[in-house]
Amino acid sequence: MAATKNPKRQTRWKPRLVDKANVAAVRTGRTVTMTGWGNYPVVRGRELRSENLEAITRSAVLTRGLARAYGDASLPPPGDHIVAASPLADRLLSFDSNTGIVRVEAGFPLMRLNRISLPRGWFTPVTPGTHFVTVGGMVASDIHGKNHHVAGCFGEHVRSLKMRVADGAIIECADGQHDLFRATLGGMGLTGHILEVEFQMQRVPTPWIWEESERIDCFESVLERLETAGRDWPFTVCWSDFLVTGQNAGRAILNKGRWAEPGEAPAGQPKWRSAPTFPVHLPNWALQTWMMRIGNWLNYTYHGKAPREHITHPETFFYPLDVIREWNRIYGKRGFTQHQAVLPAPHTHRRHEQYLRLLHDNRAKVFLSVVKDCGNEGKGMISFPKRGVTYALDIPIDQDTQRVIDRLNDFVVAEGGRIYLAKDAFTREEHFRAMEPRLDAWNDVRRQWDTEQRLKSSLSVRLLGDRA
Amino acid sequence: MNVAFLGASKGMGRSLARRMAERGDRLFLLGRDSTDLRRSAADLANLGATGEVGIAKCDLADRKTFRPALDEACDALGDIDTVVVTAGAFGQQEDLENDPEALNRLLTTNFTNTIHFCEAARGLLLERGGGRLCVFSSVAGERGRKPVILYGASKAGLSYYLEGLDHKFHDRGLIVTTVKPGFVRTGMTAGMDPPPFAGEPDDVARDVLRGIDRGQAVVYSPGIWRWVMLVIRNLPRAVMRKIGF
């Protein structure tokens, strides 16, 4: 007994700093286990992390920011590939308070950008639902937000990119200059390593948000109310309950927001709050469908019938889930995925109902669902949004997930929609090709800049037929 | 504060310089790579550093660059009241054992030349009647330990020097702050698996800035390392021979 116990104890005491493997790791990258936000899939690879992003991208197949893509977009292909981590490359290279033009290194986090820019009267032109992302990642995913119907994707506001392309050259790639620029917006990091980003910020009258919300009892009016709200409001989004069935199916809360005017906003600046970290992965069984049913019901009931209006902290409005860091751990180690699809306009009640029925018939466990109307397609050659309605569905992973995603994708293909790569982990190559008639044009640009096919990710192996 | 800063472009130095910039201190950056320094200077100016953030070339490997660099800082800032040194070298024990050249570089950078730089800075600060000198050493210098014998030795020497400075010149207005970080997740340690109690650079920066403001002689960060090292310092030799920490 003692004999078997001792060696174990020794390995535990031995500082891992002096392992032989570790000595080598300092030079060639540390072998680490990587996952996206959804904790699935899990890939081992070698990570190089440095302030000097130019240096570490030389040998890397992909650059990775804060790894907030849900699926495998930020993961290297399986095998012993090197990935460059950008978060230490986080300098604010210029911020012109008169024009709102900002230039940052790719690892610059959105949270810092917001906290620096809001007191100066500027805000990012487009923000995703979390501020724990890098600006480089925002370009690579060409993120959209609650204001897509008026502002488009983040890429619409990018002026120029500094990139390391696959042959090792470092180039400045301005809007309109190369096809590479448009291919890189939403190109999931597969067209070159993004080193610096220059973009145009948006002026805001105050750093506060005027928010109104209303309950929508009947799913039939969700689409209309979203559309109507979009005419008057720059920020709209609809939280919807896709677990409930029967006459309450698809009930929702519609949130609308705009920047508060000086007269209505508090005089001071918003206080930046720190967010506690969810400490451990809960067991896989901890979060059950019935709990989410109750949670959704509470959320819905607590809101009350009457519309609400109030001044809101911008971080509460844009990033409600960021109040707890690592909240993805509540799903346990099984992980979760998000299926976000856009169904093109004209979107009808009938299609909305069909989609809900499809989810129900396939017993999809949709723990969280967000509905939002999209504006026009932007510059990005392969960017996700187009005019229509997008559904983002959080689904815990089990043995049934692949089948559910396949059925959803059948529907998306049939309706002429497409999916958001930043969230995806389960879509099949044939589905993706059927959704993306733009793929060949984008691939041409990609291949033109990467003739030896050096840049790749787990996602590109899964969906684009790259070799691992 | 008017700060001459050696090592502000990377790691904990970057975080500390940012905190100083955000509260409007005046900064002058010293370092090896001018291109990199210029980018950090821009970063700090954009964050709110008062006035222009100047730069000058100063290489810990080359003693001759120290005095001219500090003079440039003096010219630019007018009056330096604080000197911060976060620059330093790190090497894995096994690498250093097998490569005498690398070992020599590390010892020269971390011990010999850092002390030369501090001597120059001390002279400058004492001339004006005192000031603050903040230098990053390490918990690795607290006791001879198997995984960091050589790196630890260089930092131990530095810590002793700084302690002596404090004893001798405190009454003349020289406030010396020795920073002893534990394992911190920076680019320097990115190739290693983080042990328990690993810290974040920004948290270290917060602790250090508070330490400088209060004139603390020694700052451990993350704070728990004070107690970890208290235990380690008092372990019997027989135990130290057995464990790998």
Q: What percent of chain B has pLDDT over 90?
A: 94
Domain that holds residue A188: 92-204
For residue A20, list chain B residues with Cβ-Cβ distance below 8 A. 94
Task: State whether A242 and A302 are in the same domain.
Answer: yes
The nearest CA of chain A is from the CA of B173 a distance in Å of: 35
Q: Which of A9, A17, A54 is best to mutate for the B interface (most B CBs within 10 A)?
A: A17
Contacts of A76 (CB under 8 A, 6+ apart): A34, A43, A45, A61, A62, A82, A83, A456, A457, A458
pLDDT for the residue numbered A248: 82
CB B11 within 8 A of CB B87: no
SS3 A437: coil
SS3 A159: strand
The 3-class secondary structure across B172-186, one letter per residue, is: HCEEEEEEEECCECC
pLDDT for the residue numbered A122: 98
| Contact with chain A for residue B187, Cβ under 8 A | yes
Length of chain A: 468
Q: What's the whole-model pTM score?
A: 0.92
User: pLDDT confidence of A4, banded at 50, 70, 90?
Assistant: very low
pLDDT for the residue numbered A27: 54
Task: State whether A124 and A166 are in the same domain.
Answer: yes
The angle formed by the CA atoms of residues A139, A458 and A193, to the nearest 5 degrees, is: 35
User: pLDDT confidence of A2, banded at 50, 70, 90?
Assistant: very low
User: pLDDT confidence of A16, banded at 50, 70, 90?
Assistant: very low
| Contact with chain A for residue B193, Cβ under 8 A | yes
Task: State whether A381 and A324 are in the same domain.
Answer: yes
For residue A64, list chain B residues with Cβ-Cβ distance below 8 A. none
Task: Tell which residue, A383, A384, A400, A296, has the closest CA to residue A341.
Answer: A384
Query: Which comes out higher in pLDDT, residue B179 or A26?
Result: B179
Whether B95 and A23 lie within 8 Å, measured CB to CB: yes
For residue B39, list chain A residues with Cβ-Cβ distance below 8 A. 91, 93, 105
Whether A94 and B245 lie within 8 Å, measured CB to CB: no
Quote the tokens at residue A414: 């049939």
Identify the CATH number of the domain in which residue A117 sits. 3.30.465.10
**What ipTM does the predicted assembly reach?**
0.94
Task: State whether A183 and A288 are in the same domain.
Answer: no
Task: Name the burial class of residue A108, with classes exposed (0-12), middle (13-18) and buried (19+) by CB atoms within 10 angstroms of its CB.
Answer: buried
Distances (CA, A) of A370 to A167, A255, A359, A398, B173: 41, 11, 14, 21, 62
Whether A29 and B191 lie within 8 Å, measured CB to CB: yes
For B2-242, give the CATH class. Answer: alpha beta
Whether the pLDDT of residue A250 is over 90: the answer is no
Residue A267 within any structural domain of the chain: yes
Task: Tell which residue, A175, A172, A178, has the closest CA to residue A195.
Answer: A172
Whether A26 and B186 lie within 8 Å, measured CB to CB: no
CB B183 within 8 A of CB B198: yes
The nearest CA of chain B is from the CA of A134 a distance in Å of: 16
DSSP state of B232: H
User: pLDDT confidence of A10, banded at 50, 70, 90?
Assistant: very low
The angle formed by the CA atoms of residues A227, A232 and A235, to the nearest 5 degrees, is: 75
Task: State whether A198 and A217 are in the same domain.
Answer: no
Mark which of A204, A224, A252 sits at the end of a domain. Answer: A204
Whether A91 and B95 lie within 8 Å, measured CB to CB: no
Mark which of A204, A225, A241 sits at the end of a domain. Answer: A204
d(CA A339, CA A366): 10
Q: Structural domain tally of chain A? A: 2
User: pLDDT confidence of A433, banded at 50, 70, 90?
Assistant: very high
Task: State whether A236 and A328 are in the same domain.
Answer: yes
d(CA A359, CA A343): 15
Residue whose tokens read 């992909």: A62
Number of neighbours of residue A3 by Cβ within 10 angstroms: 6
Q: Mean of the pLDDT values across residues B59-86?
A: 95
pLDDT for the residue numbered A178: 86
Residue A110 within any structural domain of the chain: yes
Task: State whether A130 and A230 are in the same domain.
Answer: no
Number of neighbours of residue B94 by Cβ within 10 angstroms: 15
Identify the CATH number of the domain in which residue A258 sits. 3.30.70.2520
Whether the pLDDT of residue A44 is over 70: the answer is yes
Whether the pLDDT of residue A15 is over 80: the answer is no
CB A107 within 8 A of CB A197: no
Query: Which comes out higher in pLDDT, residue A23 or A139?
Result: A139
Beta strands in A189-307 (DSSP E): 193-200, 202-203, 209-216, 235-240, 252-259
pLDDT per residue as tens digits for the range A396-423: 999 999 999 999 999 999 999 999 999 9
User: pLDDT confidence of B227, banded at 50, 70, 90?
Assistant: very high
* Positions of B marked active-site: 151
The nearest CA of chain B is from the CA of A248 a distance in Å of: 47
SS3 A213: strand
Task: State whether A234 and A365 are in the same domain.
Answer: yes
Return the C-alpha torsion angle A56, A59, A62, A63, nearest 10: 10
Residue A279 within any structural domain of the chain: yes
pLDDT per residue as tens digits for the range B74-96: 999 999 999 999 999 999 999 99
The nearest CA of chain A is from the CA of B40 a distance in Å of: 7
Residue A464 within any structural domain of the chain: no
Task: State whether A400 and A289 are in the same domain.
Answer: yes
Task: Tell which residue, A107, A115, A105, has the closest CA to residue A74.
Answer: A107
pLDDT for the residue numbered A349: 87
Whether B39 and A26 lie within 8 Å, measured CB to CB: no
Q: Mean of the pLDDT values across residues B172-181?
A: 97
Task: State whether A266 and A302 are in the same domain.
Answer: yes
Quote the tokens at residue A396: 């815990």
d(CA A53, CA A171): 14
d(CA A253, CA A244): 14
Task: State whether A299 and A249 are in the same domain.
Answer: yes
Distances (CA, A) of A321 to A325, B102, B139, B208: 8, 48, 37, 32
pLDDT per residue as tens digits for the range B120-174: 999 999 999 999 999 999 999 999 999 999 999 999 999 999 999 999 999 999 9
**Residue among A25, A27, A51 whose CB faces B10 most closely:** A51
pLDDT per residue as tens digits for the range A296-341: 999 999 999 999 999 999 999 999 999 999 999 999 999 999 999 9
User: Mind giving me the DSSP string for A77-140?
Assistant: PSSS-EEEE-TT---EEEE-TTT-EEEEETT-BHHHHHHHHGGGTEE-SS--S-S-SBHHHHHH
Residue whose tokens read 């000197």: B83
End-to-end CA gap in chain B: 39
Q: What percent of chain B has pLDDT over 70?
A: 100
Residue A408 within any structural domain of the chain: yes
| Contact with chain B for residue A30, Cβ under 8 A | yes
Whether the pLDDT of residue A23 is over 80: the answer is no
Domain ranges of chain B: 2-242
Beta strands in A397-462 (DSSP E): 418-419
Residues 92-151 of A with CB under 8 A from B: 92-95, 105, 116
Mark which of A204, A233, A251 sits at the end of a domain. Answer: A204
Task: Tell which residue, A392, A395, A440, A394, has the closest CA to residue A417.
Answer: A392
Whether A93 and B43 lie within 8 Å, measured CB to CB: yes
| Contact with chain B for residue A50, Cβ under 8 A | yes
Residues forming a β-bridge with A373: A389
Whether A17 and B14 lie within 8 Å, measured CB to CB: no
Contacts of B73 (CB under 8 A, 6+ apart): B4, B28, B30, B54, B56, B80
Mean pLDDT, chain A, as a whole number?
A: 92
**Residue among A49, A51, A93 whose CB faces B42 most closely:** A93
φ, ψ at B44 (rounded to 5°): -70, -40
Residue A61 within any structural domain of the chain: no
pLDDT for the residue numbered A49: 94
Residue A70: CA count within 13 A, CB half-sphere: 27
Do the bridges between strand A158-164 and strand A193-200 make them parallel or antiparallel, or are there none, so unpaired? antiparallel
Residue A254 within any structural domain of the chain: yes
Whether the pLDDT of residue A18 is over 70: the answer is no
Quote the tokens at residue A284: 């896989």
Task: State whether A104 and A118 are in the same domain.
Answer: yes
pLDDT for the residue numbered A245: 82
Residue A437 within any structural domain of the chain: no
